[in-house]
Structures are given as structure tokens and as C-alpha cells.
Structure 1
Amino acid sequence: MHTLDEVNKEKLPKHIAIIMDGNGRWAKQRGKLRVFGHENGVEAVRNTVENCAKLQIQCLTLYAFSTENWNRPKVEVQTLMKLLVASLRKELETLNKNNIRLKAIGKIDSLPQKAQKELSEVISKTSKNTGMILTLALSYGSRDEIKSAIKEISTKVKNNIISPENIDEAVINTHLYTHFLPDVDLLIRTSGEHRISNFLLWQIAYAELYFIDVFWPDFREHHLVEAILSYQNRERRFGKTSEQLN
């Protein structure tokens, strides 16, 4: 099995984003309810966050709950929200020990009040940390994010704050939820699915995509290392030719 020692520290992705998929199917394989999978997925989160911190990855963004996830069975949604609150409370010490700063993106005001309160407290209590930025995408949808950015920019154009001629990528970036983050370098999706599922559509324009046929609760250090090694073995051209890069 691969270990963190195999990773080239000189070619690390600055920003890793993960679609944590497969909790429900993992539970179903074991004859359990879907919530059992979500509960066991927490360990994969802890393991991945700590390993990324050890590697000194600058930014890690986790797709924790999408805008579409509100359509799931009520019991499952309630369990996910309770897990969120419990995990945030439990992991605060680990975040501070690893010098990790917590952030959140999405329609945070749509979360239950208890979850909003816990999230706000942990964000505040980790705000002075200077290591990795861990961002949770909660009640997040990329199309919704882009729509929101367009509305904000349109209002500023209408009020003569921004000139239409001056709207460029930088202006759009500053109006996205992720304005404090660099573009994604490596996007990982577990469970064997090959979809983006409305996640960071603007930010992954030049990301390397890595799909792995492992359900999220089973995702561990060697899987993370495999993804990073794959990233490090790819040539990132950003529209240029290999000759130009060399």
C-alpha cells in the first residue's frame, strides 16, 4: 500500500476537492440503513483531513451536503445534520492541533439553527490557525453559486459600481463563495461514479480529475496517496503544448 512518504512534496496540489460519494451503497452492501454509511464516513473524513494536513496541502474542500440532498428522505437529512453538529464539536480539538482553519460555502442560512451555531463557533475558534484551509460545502450547488454571483455583479453594474467592460475572471472569482480559495488542482470522486454533480463547476476548469471505485467510508491514506501520485504524473498544460512547457 502507498504511504504519504511516497508523495513528492515539491509537486503538491495546492487545492484538493473531494466528492465524498458512496455512503449509502456502502451501508446497503452490509444490510444496514443509509445513515449507517454516513456515520462510518466520518472516520474517512478525519483520516483524509489529517493526512492532507500532514502533507501540508494548502486547501481541502469537501462536498458534504448539496442543495439537491435536501430532497432525500427526511430521516436521512436529519441524521446528516445531527452528524454535522456532533462532528464539528468533536473535531474542534483535532482541527486546532493540526493548525487547520475551517471555512464553509453554500447556503449556510438554510441549515438548522443548531448546525449554523456549531459551524459558526468552530469557524471562529479556528480562525487564527495558519495551516490548511478546510472548507465544507454545505447546502452547496455550483449553478446556484454562479447564479448568485451573476445577480451581485448585475446589481453593481446597475448601480455603476462595476463597468461591464471591466468584468473579467478576477471579478467573477471575487463574487463566488470560494473567493478566498485558489482554483482546484485535483478533484477526487469516490464510489466509481464519473460525474461532477454540480460541484465547483467554475473552479475545476483546469483541475485534474480522479475517479476511484471505492466507497467513501473505505477511503484511506493509500487511496489519497494514489490520487496525488496520479496528479503528479500528469502533465498540466493549461492550453499550451508540451514543447512550450519544456
Structure 2
Amino acid sequence: MLSVMRAAAARLLFSKLKHSRLPSHVAIIPDGNRRWARRRGLPAWVGHLQGYKVMKRVLTRLWELGVRHITIYALSRENCTRRPREELTRLYELLVKALRDLRRDHRVTQGLVRPRVIGDMSLVPDFVVEEIHIVEKESHRNAPHTLNICVCYSGRWEILEAVRKIAISTRAEPNTIDEDTFTRLLPMGDVPPPDLLIRTGGELRLSNFLLWHVAYTELYFTRRLWPDFDDFELAKALLSYSRRERRFGA
């Protein structure tokens, strides 16, 4: 009964959103998959699988609303070095499934969405890297929508990589290196920074995610675990954003 009521409330909120100011770029930290599984006495990979099903639905909703850019924190560098091997294997297998699903998605095949994976590929198994190369090769670089999937990623790693590029490739005077120059060296330097960042699971931190990009991003935190993140919660996050006044320090 409660789920029916939440679905009805979500439809009402989505109808209001059609006339609201929506973000162009949404970033997501989908936290809580393992806790969701643990509370049900299930192995962690079941929580990740349920989380993937939720992610597919959320992506569809955001694309239907016209959100142009979406960035997902799939795995941090810490996850890739500290999680149990069995869980990581399951996660990488799920990532391969997600990439293959994207290759068949009509929005990708028709050149509407460009998926790409961002992160430290030295930590990613070869069979996953091969799948990443395939999906990126087959996607249209000029697609109006981008889907950034962050795997073995950290904000500090990203910044250090850009600094190394500057150290290796330029002999310019230090004062000629401005924010725009630095941003262009980042993997996501070709898209605008997130307007809205959604984090589930009740944690109130960024966890080393998009540190350079979120200087003026609006943040939305919810206690709901990611596998329980439904249309009603998504609509609440978007409605919350639409009501905020963004001044960018002015």
C-alpha cells in the first residue's frame, strides 16, 4: 500500500517538475547496496544487482526529463583496492553487463547518449577494460547526452593526474595556468560541472567524488538506501533543486 501511495505522489511531483527549473547535469553517489542486502540476510552482490536495476530506472527518468549529463560514482579507488575479491569480481561482472546493456540501448545506438568510463584503468581487470573500449568506440562522440561512469575513481587522483599532465606537457609561466586550462585536462573537462549531486544511504559527505567539479553544486542527501531509491525520492530531489536560488558566490 505504501509503495502505491509513493508512486502516486511521485506522478504528482513529476507533473509539477515539467514546469520547473531542472538541472542540466546530475551526479549520483548510489550508496547503501551492501547494507540493503545485509538487512535482508542476503549476500552483498544481491544488493548491487538490485542497485543496478534501480539505476536503470533512474537514468531513464532523468533522460525523459531532459537532463543532459549524468555522472555515477560506481566504484571508488578505495573500493577497488579494499573490497573483498569475491565482491569485486561480482561488481566487475555487473559492470560488464551494464556496459553491454548500454550498447544495445536505443538511446546509445541512435547517438543520443554517449557513455564513457572515467577512473584509474590500471586497477580495472582486462576483461572489463576491453568492454569499456568497445562501448566507447561504438558510441557517438557528439551525442547530446553524456553518461559518465566513474570506476576506480577518486577526486584526488583526478586532480593529481591533471597536475602531472601540466608538469610533463607545458613550460608555460605558472600564472598562465588558470581554472579553464586546468579543467580541460580533467576527464570530464568537456562537460559543465554538476548542478545537483544526490547521495543516498544517510551519509553526509562527498567521499572523494568530483572534488574539483562540485564547488557550487547543490547537494541532496537522503537516508534511503540506493536499492530503495524510488521515483518519489528522485522527484523530491529534483523539486528541492528547482526551489533553490543559485548565486555562485555573488
Query: Structure 1 length normalisation: TM-score?
Result: 0.91
Question: CA 1:199 to 1:128, structure 2 compared with 1: closer, same or farther past 3 Å?
Answer: closer
Query: Aligned match of 2:135 in 105, 122, 138?
Result: 122
- Is 1:195 equivalent to 2:205 in the alignment? yes
SS in 2 for 1:139: coil
Tell me if the contact between 1:34 and 1:76 (Cα under 8 Å) persists in the aligned partners. Answer: yes
- Is 1:78 equivalent to 2:65 in the alignment? no
Q: In the alignment, what sits opposite 1:87? A: 98
Q: In the alignment, what sits opposite 2:43? A: 33
- Is 1:96 equivalent to 2:108 in the alignment? yes
Q: In the alignment, what sits opposite 2:175? A: 165
Tell me if the contact between 1:92 and 1:122 (Cα under 8 Å) persists in the aligned partners. Answer: yes
SS in 1 for 2:75: strand
SS in 2 for 1:11: coil
Q: Deviations over 1:50-87 (max 9, x none)?
A: 11110111100000011000211111111100111122
Tell me if the contact between 1:96 and 1:129 (Cα under 8 Å) persists in the aligned partners. Answer: no
Q: In the alignment, what sits opposite 1:135? A: 148
Unaligned regions of 5+ residues in structure 2, if any?
1-8
Shift of 1:163: 2.4
Instruction: Please give the alpha-carbon distance, in whole angstroms, between the structure 1 residues aligned to 2:15 and 2:168.
Output: 50
Query: Structure 2 length normalisation: TM-score?
Result: 0.90
Shift of 1:177: 1.7
Unaligned regions of 5+ residues in structure 1, if any?
241-246
Instruction: Please give the alpha-carbon distance, in whole angstroms, between the structure 1 residues aligned to 2:137 and 2:58.
Output: 22
Q: In the alignment, what sits opposite 2:10? A: 2
Percent identity of the aligned residues?
Answer: 38
Tell me if the contact between 1:185 and 1:208 (Cα under 8 Å) persists in the aligned partners. Answer: yes
SS in 1 for 2:92: helix
Q: Deviations over 1:193-245 (max 9, x none)?
A: 101000001100000000011111121222211111100101111112xxxxx
Output the aligned Cα RMSD.
1.6
Q: In the alignment, what sits opposite 1:244? A: none
Instruction: Please give the alpha-carbon distance, in whole angstroms, between the structure 2 residues aligned to 1:209 and 1:215.
Output: 17
Structure 1 counterpart of 2:127, one-letter code: K
Instruction: Please give the alpha-carbon distance, in whole angstroms, between the structure 2 residues aligned to 1:106 and 1:35.
Output: 22
Instruction: Please give the alpha-carbon distance, in whole angstroms, between the structure 2 residues aligned to 1:153 and 1:9.
Output: 44
Q: In the alignment, what sits opposite 2:4? A: none
Question: CA 1:113 to 1:196, structure 2 compared with 1: closer, same or farther past 3 Å?
Answer: same
Instruction: Please give the alpha-carbon distance, in whole angstroms, between the structure 2 residues aligned to 1:112 and 1:155.
Output: 27
Q: Deviations over 1:165-187 (max 9, x none)?
A: 21111011011121122111100
Q: In the alignment, what sits opposite 2:68? A: 58
SS in 1 for 2:152: strand
Tell me if the contact between 1:26 and 1:215 (Cα under 8 Å) persists in the aligned partners. Answer: yes
Instruction: Please give the alpha-carbon distance, in whole angstroms, between the structure 2 residues aligned to 1:134 and 1:209.
Output: 19
Q: How many residue pairs end up in the alignment? A: 237
Structure 2 counterpart of 1:185, one-letter code: D
Instruction: Please give the alpha-carbon distance, in whole angstroms, between the structure 1 residues aligned to 2:149 and 2:138.
Output: 16
SS in 2 for 1:140: coil
- Is 1:112 equivalent to 2:125 in the alignment? yes
